[in-house]
Amino acid sequence: MNKKLTASNGAPISEDNNSITVGERGPLTFDNWQLMEKLAHFNRERIPERIVHARGYGAYGTFTLTKDLSQYTRAKFLVGKGKTTKVFARFSTVAGGQDSSDYVRDVRGFALKFYTEEGNWDMVGNNTPVFFIRDPQKFPDFVHSQKKHPQTNLPNPAAHYEFWASNPQSMHQITILMSDRGIPFSLRHINGYSSHTLSLWNDKGERYWVKWHFKTNQGIKTLTDQEAAKQPVNGMQADLVQAIDEGNFPNWTVKLQIMPEKDAETYGINPFDLTKVWPHTDYPLIEIGTLALNKNVENYFAETEQAAFSPANLVPGTGVSPDRVLQARLFAYGDAHRYRVGANHGFLPVNAPQCPVHHYQRDGLMAGGCPVHHGGSNPQTKEVNFYPNDKTHEGAPAPDASVKEPPLQISDATIDRFDSSNDDNYTQAGNLYRMMKDDQKEQLTNNIAGGLSQATKSVQKRMIAHFQKADKAYGNQVEAKLK
Ligand code: HEM
C-alpha cells in the first residue's frame, strides 16, 4: 500500500493535481491553502549560495594517523598511531557561482571537517600552498575583481589583471594559477594545503607552527585550456561520485612541515605571510597519515550545501597563528554561516560534532525543537540557562582549565597599520618560474598573455614589470607574447 500523501501538518490530502477554481474555466479561490503552502515552501527551497566557493562537491572519508604526534600535540586525533577519524570533505571552485563550470582556471577549495572525539577540527584550505593576498583588508576587492562584470555579467579578465597590477603580492599565486596546475584533470588529482601556518601544542605547553600538506596518491594530473574547454560542465563532480561509488576511493598522504615556536623569530621568511612557502630544505615534509574518501553524500543540499566549515573550529592541542588573513577568517566563516544557514547551523547532522556538546547558548531560529538545543529540560545542564551557576558541582557544564592553550608572546609591538605590500613579492614567484620546464614556461606565459591582452595598456605595462622583477625572462616572455 502507498504511504498517504499529507499536507505539512500531517493530515492526509485527497488530491494533488488540481487546484480549487470557480467553475471549470474560472479563477482560483482563496481557500486554496494546499496550493499556497506548496508554492510558499517552494519559494524557500534555496539558501544563499556561498559568496566564494559556491560550486562544490562533498564526500565522507577517514583520516588514519600513521605517526604518533604526542611530541607536538595533545589533540587526541593526532595521538596514537593507527587512530582513525571520520572526515567530511568539500572541494570547490572559488570565483564562479553554483551554475558555473567545473573546468575553469581557478584555485580549488580543499575543505576538511574532522569529527574528532574532542570536537570538530576544520582544515579549510586550497589546492595551492599560498594565496593572493597577505592582508585581509584586500579580500572583498580581490574577490570582486575575479567575479563576473557587474554590468555585462560576463567573465572579466581585464579586472583580474587590474587588481593584480596594483597588488604584486599576488605574483606567487598568479604564477601557480596560470601554470599547468591551474586546471585540474579531476578533484582526485589535486593536492590540498592549509596554506596558512597553523599550530599544534602539547601538554608541556610547547607550541609548533605547522603547515599541512595533503599529497594526492592519484598523481597530479591537469588539463590545458583547450582540453578543459571540451569537458562537460559537471565532469569533475561526476568523476568523484563515480570513483567513490565504484569503490575506487581517492586518497591522499598527509604530511606536515613543523617549526618550533621560537624559530619564527629568526627564520628569514616571515612564517605568517600567506604568500610564501617554507622551502622543504628548511622544514622537510613529515608523513603523518592518510586520508581516503569512501562515501558519497545521500542528499546534496542537506550535506554539501549546508556544510559549514570554519578555521575557528579548533580542538585542544591545535591552534592558529598570527597570520592576519587567518585571523580575519576566524570571524568571516561563522558570520557567513549564521547568515547563509542560520544561527543553529551547528545542529545539522553534517556540522554536528560527534561528541557531546554542552553550552549555555540557546534558542534562535530552527533550534530543532529538542530541549537540549534550547537549554531547557536537559538533565545534563540541570536546567540552568546561565553560567556561572550553583549547579556545577552537580554536573552542570563547567570549563576545563586543562585545555588552556599556552600563552603567545608577541614582542614589543606598536598597534598601527603596517604597510606589507612590498614584503618581497617576487623571489618565490621567480623561484617557481625558474623551476619550471620549458614547456611549462610556455603554457604559463601563454595563459597569462591570453587574459592580460584584454587589459588596458597601463595594466599590461605594470604587469610585465612585475613579471620581470620575478625573473627577467618571465617578464620578457609575457611581453613578447602580448606583442
Ligand atoms: C580574508 C581572507 C578570506 C575571507 C574573508 C574568506 C571568506 C570566505 C567565506 C565568507 C566563505 C564562504 C563560507 C560559507 O558560506 O560557508 C569562504 C569559503 C571558503 N574559503 Fe575563504 N576566505 C578567505 C581566504 C581564504 C583562504 C586563504 C583559503 C585557503 C587557504 C580559503 C578557503 C576557503 C574554502 C575552501 C572555502 C569553501 C569552504 C566550503 O567548502 O564550504 N579562503 N571563504
- 249-276 burial, b at 16+ Cβ within 10 Å, e below that, comes to ebbbbbbbbbbebeebeeeebbbbbbbb
Query: Which residue range is the domain that position 245 belongs to?
Result: 56-139+190-347
- Judge residue 96's burial from the number of C-beta atoms within 10 Å of its C-beta, 0-12 exposed, 13-18 middle, 19 or more buried: buried
Question: ∠ CA 39-44-45 to the nearest 5 degrees?
Answer: 100
**According to the model, what pLDDT value does residue 369 have?**
67
Looking at this protein, which amino acid is placed at residue 18? N
**According to the model, what pLDDT value does residue 238 have?**
98
Residue 55 binned pLDDT confidence (cut-offs 50, 70, 90): very high
| C-alpha of residue 52 to centroid of ligand 1, in Å | 7
Q: Is the pLDDT confidence value at 426 over 70?
A: yes
- Judge residue 118's burial from the number of C-beta atoms within 10 Å of its C-beta, 0-12 exposed, 13-18 middle, 19 or more buried: middle
Tell me if 301 is assigned to some domain. yes
Tell me if 85 is assigned to some domain. yes
Q: Is the pLDDT confidence value at 96 over 90?
A: yes
**According to the model, what pLDDT value does residue 459 have?**
98
Residue 359 binned pLDDT confidence (cut-offs 50, 70, 90): confident
Q: Is the pLDDT confidence value at 305 over 60?
A: yes
Cell numbers describing residue 70 = 604526542
Instruction: Give which of 301, 186, 190 is closest to 238, Cα–Cα.
Output: 186
Q: How far apart are CA 139 and CA 327, in angstroms?
A: 13
CB atoms within 10 A of CB 305: 21
| Mean pLDDT within 435-459 | 98
Looking at this protein, which amino acid is placed at residue 50? R
Tell me if 49 is assigned to some domain. no
Tell me if 124 is assigned to some domain. yes
Please state the φ and ψ torsions of residue 294, each to the nearest 5 degrees: -135, 5
Please give the full DSSP string across 147-168, using - where no structure is assigned: S--TTT-S--HHHHHHHHHH-G
Contact 53, 94 (CB under 8 A): yes
**Which tens digit of pLDDT belongs to each residue from 257-296?**
999 999 999 999 999 999 999 999 999 999 999 999 999 9
| C-alpha of residue 340 to centroid of ligand 1, in Å | 13
| C-alpha of residue 336 to centroid of ligand 1, in Å | 9
Among the listed residues 126, 191, 313, 447, the single catalytic one is: 126
Chain-centre distance for alpha carbon 465: 32
- What is the number of the ligand 1 atom nearest to the C-alpha of 56? 40
Among 46, 47, 49, 50, say which to mutate for ligand 1: greatest number of ligand atoms within 8 Å of CB: 50
Please write down the HEC assignment for all residues of the chain.
CCCCCECCCCCECCCCCCCCECCCCCCECCCCHHHHHHHHHHHCCCCCCCCCCCCEEEEEEEEEECCCCCCCCCCHHHCCCCCEEEEEEEEEECCCCCCCCCCCCCCEEEEEEEEECCEEEEEEEECCCCCCCCCHHHHHHHHHHHCCCCCCCCCCHHHHHHHHHHCHHHHHHHHHHCCHHHCECCHHHCCEECCCCEEEECCCCCEEEEEEEEEECCCCCECCHHHHHCCCCCHHHHHHHHHHHCCCCCEEEEEEEEEEHHHHHCCCCCCCCCCCCCCCCCCCCEEEEEEEEEEECCCHHHHHHCCCCCCCCCCCCEECCCCHHHHHHHHHHHHHHHHHCCCCHHHCCCCCCCCCCCCCCCCCCCCCCCHHHHCCCCHHHCCCCCCCCCCHHHCCCCCCHHHCCCCCCCCCCCCCCCCCCCCCCCHHHHHHHHHCCHHHHHHHHHHHHHHHCCCCHHHHHHHHHHHHHHCHHHHHHHHHHHC
In this structure, the residue with its CA closest to atom 11 of ligand 1 is: 52
CATH code of the domain in which 301 resides: 2.40.180.10
Indicate the number of domains in the chain: 1
Tell me if 126 is assigned to some domain. yes
Q: How far apart are CA 90 and CA 105, in angstroms?
A: 18
Residue 377 binned pLDDT confidence (cut-offs 50, 70, 90): low
**Which tens digit of pLDDT belongs to each residue from 137-178?**
999 999 999 999 999 999 999 999 999 999 999 999 999 999
Tell me if 72 is assigned to some domain. yes
Contact 204, 469 (CB under 8 A): no
Cell numbers describing residue 288 = 603523518
- What is the number of the ligand 1 atom nearest to the C-alpha of 131? 27
Please state the φ and ψ torsions of residue 225, each to the nearest 5 degrees: -55, -40
Over the chain, what is the mean pLDDT? 95
Tell me if 198 is assigned to some domain. yes
Long-range contacts of 462-465 (CB under 8 A, 24+ apart): 462/165, 462/166, 463/161, 463/164, 463/165
| C-alpha of residue 50 to centroid of ligand 1, in Å | 9
Residue ranges lining ligand 1, Cβ < 6 Å: 50-53, 56, 90, 92, 109, 111, 124-126, 131, 136, 139, 195-196, 307-309, 325, 328-329, 332-333, 336-337, 340
Q: Is the pLDDT confidence value at 43 over 90?
A: yes
Contact 455, 481 (CB under 8 A): no
**According to the model, what pLDDT value does residue 130 have?**
98
| Mean pLDDT within 368-389 | 71
Tell me if 13 is assigned to some domain. no
Q: Is the pLDDT confidence value at 378 over 70?
A: no
Q: How far apart are CA 369 and CA 266, in angstroms?
A: 54
Distances (CA, A) of 114 to 78, 210, 230: 11, 17, 36
**According to the model, what pLDDT value does residue 133 have?**
98
Q: How far apart are CA 290 and CA 64, in angstroms?
A: 5
Q: Is the pLDDT confidence value at 75 over 80?
A: yes
**Which tens digit of pLDDT belongs to each residue from 106-137?**
999 999 999 999 999 999 999 999 999 999 99
Residue 294 bears catalytic tag: no
Q: Which residues, 6 or more positions from 387, have their beta carbon under 8 angstroms from its beta carbon?
A: 360, 397, 398
Percent of the chain having pLDDT more than 90? 90
Residue 435 binned pLDDT confidence (cut-offs 50, 70, 90): very high
- What is the number of the ligand 1 atom nearest to the C-alpha of 325? 1
Residue 359 bears catalytic tag: no
| Mean pLDDT within 31-35 | 96
Please state the φ and ψ torsions of residue 122, each to the nearest 5 degrees: -105, 135
**According to the model, what pLDDT value does residue 363 have?**
87
Query: Could you tell me where the DSSP H helices lie in 275-414?
Result: 324-340, 371-374
Q: Is the pLDDT confidence value at 381 over 70?
A: no
Instruction: Give which of 421, 432, 466, 471 is closest to 130, Cα–Cα.
Output: 432
Contact 29, 22 (CB under 8 A): yes
